[in-house]
Amino acid sequence: MFEIRAYQPKDETAVLALWTRCQLVSADSNPLADIHRKLAVQPELFLVGTLDSVIVASGMAGYDGHRGYLYYLAVAPEHQRNGYGRAIVAHLQDILHERGCPKLNLFVSTDNVSACAFYERLGFTRNDMVSMGRHLYS
């Protein structure tokens, strides 16, 4: 049975492997640092999905008091299209909603056609905006 729970430190290796398999790790990203920062800020919004205690999915969210944001949504390739991605998003949405978060945003590359199709299926709509960012330290 698919179960969703909060990330625990013992999950680190499995989650890093999942993200790598799901191509969420790029040359200029530092997923381990991302995990450690998340454990310091709203760790309860970092979820994993398991099948027989094996990690097959993840999702990370945050609420800054204005918007919620979604990151690192992943379902192991062999378990995709079983509703697990939808379930992780729904679980995070419930937590955010309980906290009064009015809107959930996310960033997805326009090249990631399948993820865009997935999010649109879940009711997300495209915003006509440019995503901008800068590093605060290296």
Task: Return the ∠ at Cα 120 (arms to 71 and 76), rounded to 5°.
Answer: 50
Q: Tell me whether residue 35 or residue 75 sits nearer to ligand COA (CB atom).
A: 75
Q: Tell me whether residue 127 or residue 138 sits nearer to ligand COA (CB atom).
A: 127
Look at the block and give the residue holding tokens 């640092």. 33
Residues numbered 13-72 forming contacts with ligand COA, rule: CB under 6 A: 22, 24
Parallel/antiparallel/unpaired status of strands 104-106 and 68-75:
parallel
User: Binding ligand COA by CB under 6 A: which of 6, 32, 90, 117?
Assistant: 117
Q: b/e per residue, 66-88, with b = 16+ CB within 10 A?
A: eebbbbbbbbbeebbeeebbebb
The radius of gyration computed from the CA coordinates of the chain, to the nearest angstrom, equals: 15
Q: Tell me whether residue 21 or residue 97 sits nearer to ligand COA (CB atom).
A: 21
- In a 3-state reduction of DSSP, which class is residue 50? strand
Q: Which region, judged by CB under 6 A, interacts with ligand COA, from 7-15, 73-81, 92-100, 127-135?
A: 73-81
User: Binding ligand COA by CB under 6 A: which of 67, 81, 97, 126?
Assistant: 81
Q: Is 82 in the site for ligand COA (CB under 6 A)?
A: yes
Exposed / middle / buried, residue 12 (Cβ in 10 Å: 0-12, 13-18, 19+): middle
User: Binding ligand COA by CB under 6 A: which of 48, 73, 101, 104?
Assistant: 73
Residues that bind ligand COA (CB under 6 A): 22, 24, 73-75, 80-86, 108, 112, 114-115, 117-118, 121
